[in-house]
Chains A and B, each alone.
Chain A
Amino acid sequence: MKEIELPILPISVIGSYPKPKWLREAIRARAEGKIDEAHMEEAYNDAVSSVVREQELLGVDIPSDGEMRREEMVEYFAERIEGFKFFGKVRVWGNNYFRKPGIVGPLKWRGPMTVEEFKFLRSVSTSPAVKVPITGPYTIADWSYIIYYKSKEEATFEIAKIINRELKALEEAGANFVQVDEPALTTHPEEMEWAVEAINEAVRGLNIKVGLHVCYSDYRILKPYYDKLKVSQFALEFANRGFSDLEVIRGLNVELGFGVVDVHNRFVESPEAVEAAILKVLNYVKPECLYINPDCGLKLLPRKIAREKLRSIKIGTERVRKKLNEKGIIKTYLKSEVNCS
């Protein structure tokens, strides 16, 4: 993979971004049959153009398409992989739901699920690198009812094969940074061994940058697997937990995507708070191995709040960059293999 030059402490997002109000209205109209597929596609493209531009203007170095075409991270893939059936909405926290799928038949890859998303994102972004998030095999299995397969393990490895085909299709299309989202990874500590194997199966044979996002989890359970997971970045959530327990990232030999704003709280963190958090984590991670991002996807926030949070990230990060620049630390590189030991 060709290395891409980035400013030190590159700012990225985890993936999702609040959908514009008009897009939500268009999705509703489409469901009611009031607009056709072509108009819907145009609306999605316009929304992606808009939120990508917004991220770039707010200082995001590696934008995503905001997952404008996705309703929910498991739903999106369950709708496109053969073998799933939806049972209905299940609550995740507060008043937030997802449509819970069940695996009721043999799983099959029907064809690329995210390649067109990537191509459009690439065509509208002016940034040298963009990120494509994709839900990992373990989380898709864990958040589904397992009915057809004898075990969750068997289902997870079937999904891993499908995700691997998808990631290879993305690589072939020119993607250079994919992020496997595995928020469920540490949920069942006794399943970690094979869950890690399944993730490695999903990313096997890739020559592009692969990140792993794990959030709202017990990172002490993840820690023993830092070196076993074949990824070059861990994007972890820390603002939600008040930046406590940073000790858990000691021993991480790849990059850290550091969550500096809470995405489930409308309180906007100040640039000073972001700066302080970054300075704190720099006691554990080399600046060349540190990326800055929100804790998780921003989609549940009002768009205005999401913007303000990104603005705080930009100002806070710039302040630290300035200090690093004075020491001659100016840039870093996006690459598939890193050594951060």
Chain B
Amino acid sequence: MKLAIEFSGSFPRDEAVSNLHSLRKSGDIDERTFLEKIIAKELKLVGSLDSLGFSLFTDGMLWADDILNPVASLSGAEAGGLVRFFDNNFFVRAPIVKKEISFIEGNALEAYAKFLKAFPEERRAKLKAPIPGPVTLVHFSQNSHYSSHAELLNAWGKKFLIPLVEKLKSMGFSSFEVHEPSIVSKAISQELKEEGGKLLGEIFDSFSGNRFLLMTYFSASLVDAKHLSYAIRENSILGIDLFTPSGWRLVKSLSEKWASRIYLGSLNSRSPIPERSSKLRGWVERAEELGFSEVFMGNNAPMDFVPPRWAMGKLRKLSRSVLSKKR
């Protein structure tokens, strides 16, 4: 069994990064200076992850407020009021859809582009571009243009995500991370989840040479296995949050019928307490027993919910616990 560790989504902003955002907001530094300084911080972060043995990672998304934040500048949707991001004390701005969705080359691309340029070319294959999934976009949209959820889902998938991935690919990304917590959320209808799973499969088929990690988190149920199975492809890996009551049951069900590879959300992003090494190693053994040929272990969700020091502590612990097991 191939075993690797992977960092996904956002890393919590420390005070220095926070100050840069404040300076940009107040106009004390321009966009160019902001990005230069942020990217320097991101390079430091990924340097640490690289040296800890993480085989794949994002830039930590230090430049963005959250996974939905870049959507407004790239889709023409307006940034709306604050809405709670699932059951967390964390809020995002809902995209307001008042007209046809289309991909536009907005400011957010600069952050992806500049980071890529700054990152050593020979190690670029380790980078993942994080993007939101279509079901999550529908979940958080305040839509007054499309007549149904199905239409809105299709528009987010085909008019926005496919061209966005094409663009990111042309810029040099080969791996993508699709944040799709809503596909396992109880708030979403089974019908929409099923349509969403099929659409994700289509998106992945459009980029057969690229790797897609489909990140699900904060919930898991056996009912979701079927919807998720539509998105299982040669080039896709499912990410399951092991800190939900049915996380392992879902992993087991996927192993029996559909998946040979899995991403285990093994670090609880909502608790500062480090996971025990024995627990992490036990999970590796369990995945091996279930017959997975490839297992990726990482954080279960974006890490904004714990302070930076604790987040890094958890990532170090994962590296120590799992990579020593590998040896």
* A positions within 8 Å CB-CB of B: 87-95, 97-98, 100, 102, 142-143, 145, 147, 184, 187-188, 216-218, 240-242, 262, 264-265
In the complex, chain A residues whose CB is within 8 Å of the CB of B13: 91, 95
* B positions within 8 Å CB-CB of A: 12-13, 15, 18, 21-22, 25, 65, 81-84, 87-92, 271-273, 304-310
Name A97's contact: one of B18, B272, B273 (CB within 8 Å).
Answer: B18
In the complex, chain A residues whose CB is within 8 Å of the CB of B92: 93
Contact status A145-B89, CB under 8 Å: no
Residue in A91, A94, A102, A187 whose Cβ sees the most chain B Cβ within 10 Å: A91
Contact status A93-B91, CB under 8 Å: yes
CB B156 to nearest CB in A, in angstroms, measures: 22
Name A102's contact: one of B12, B87, B272, B308 (CB within 8 Å).
Answer: B272
In the complex, chain A residues whose CB is within 8 Å of the CB of B25: 95
In the complex, chain A residues whose CB is within 8 Å of the CB of B307: 87-90, 100
Contact status A91-B90, CB under 8 Å: yes
- Residue in chain B with minimal CB distance to A139: B89
- Residue in chain B with minimal CB distance to A74: B89
Number of A-B contacts (CB under 8 A): 70
Query: Can you list 9 A-B pairs with a CB-CB distance of less than 8 A?
Result: A88-B307, A90-B307, A91-B90, A92-B89, A93-B82, A95-B22, A95-B65, A97-B18, A184-B89
Q: How far is the CA of A152 from the CA of B65 in the complex (A)?
A: 28
Q: Interface on chain A toward B: helix, strand, loop, or mixed SS?
A: loop
CB B173 to nearest CB in A, in angstroms, measures: 25
Q: How far is the CA of A236 from the CA of B259 in the complex (A)?
A: 46
Q: How far is the CA of A100 from the CA of B311 in the complex (A)?
A: 14
CB A296 to nearest CB in B, in angstroms, measures: 10
CB A255 to nearest CB in B, in angstroms, measures: 24
Contact status A94-B273, CB under 8 Å: no
In the complex, chain A residues whose CB is within 8 Å of the CB of B87: 187-188
- Residue in chain B with minimal CB distance to A146: B271
- Residue in chain B with minimal CB distance to A244: B142
Q: How far is the CA of A92 from the CA of B25 in the complex (A)?
A: 17
Please judge, given known A-B contacts A88-B310, A93-B65, A262-B81, whether A216 and B304 are in contact too, CB under 8 Å. no
Q: How far is the CA of A305 from the CA of B288 in the complex (A)?
A: 59
- Residue in chain A with minimal CB distance to B85: A93
Contact status B65-A94, CB under 8 Å: yes
Contact status B21-A88, CB under 8 Å: no
Q: How far is the CA of A218 from the CA of B81 in the complex (A)?
A: 13
Contact status B304-A90, CB under 8 Å: yes
In the complex, chain A residues whose CB is within 8 Å of the CB of B15: 89
Contact status B82-A216, CB under 8 Å: yes
- Residue in chain B with minimal CB distance to A241: B81
